[in-house]
A = this chain, B = another copy of it.
């Protein structure tokens, strides 16, 4: 408890986010409580509510950091090649790798629920939109899709890869483990893109 009151509000905020992040890494979202965070940083639970409105807000800020970290390898994968199909495969693999190497943090982004009557905050929506936008340009180039069709393609492709990650991570697919995730991610992206390209092509070019 020696550190009590030694920190500015900004420092406290960082300490709390780091402690919460480590608790989620170790035990998952279910292992998180204001009491556990407070114990980690040597403050009373009440201190948390001087910095965050409630535990949900704190978790959302941890999730925002996770989404920022997830974007980095996806951006790198898109920057690594000029071939739009390879950009999409690379981004999907980067997403799956991140999910596998940070399973609890990744799941926290998607399993955390706010009360039914509370809308998700803009800073989370904006980060998810950034992820979806990352794959928009290569999807447009590879398929010629635009507007609502491009939007739907980006969202269903992301959802598809997300589904592969969640079901392999939680052991629900019988080909479990890392190999299965990469294999199924590639299978899904490759076939989806081939179908999108074929359907988008004018009939006489098929």
Binding site for B on A (CB under 8 A): 28, 30, 110-111, 113, 120, 125, 128-129, 151-153, 155-168, 170-175, 180, 183-185, 187-188, 190-196, 198-199
Contacts and interface: CB of A to CB of B under 8 A. Distances in A.
Contact of A187 (B156, B165, B168, B190): B156
A152 B193 contact: no
A99 B52 CA distance: 33
Count of identical protomers in the assembly: 2
Contact of A191 (B165, B167, B170, B196): B196
Contact of A166 (B166, B180, B184, B192): B166
A34 to B, nearest CB: 16
Contacts of A159: 160, 163-164, 166-168, 173, 184, 188
B198 A194 contact: yes
B164 A160 contact: yes
Interface centre among A155, A160, A171 (most CB of B within 10 A): A160
A129 B162 CA distance: 20
Contact of A195 (B111, B113, B151, B196): B196
6 contacts: A155-B174, A157-B188, A159-B188, A163-B163, A191-B195, A194-B198
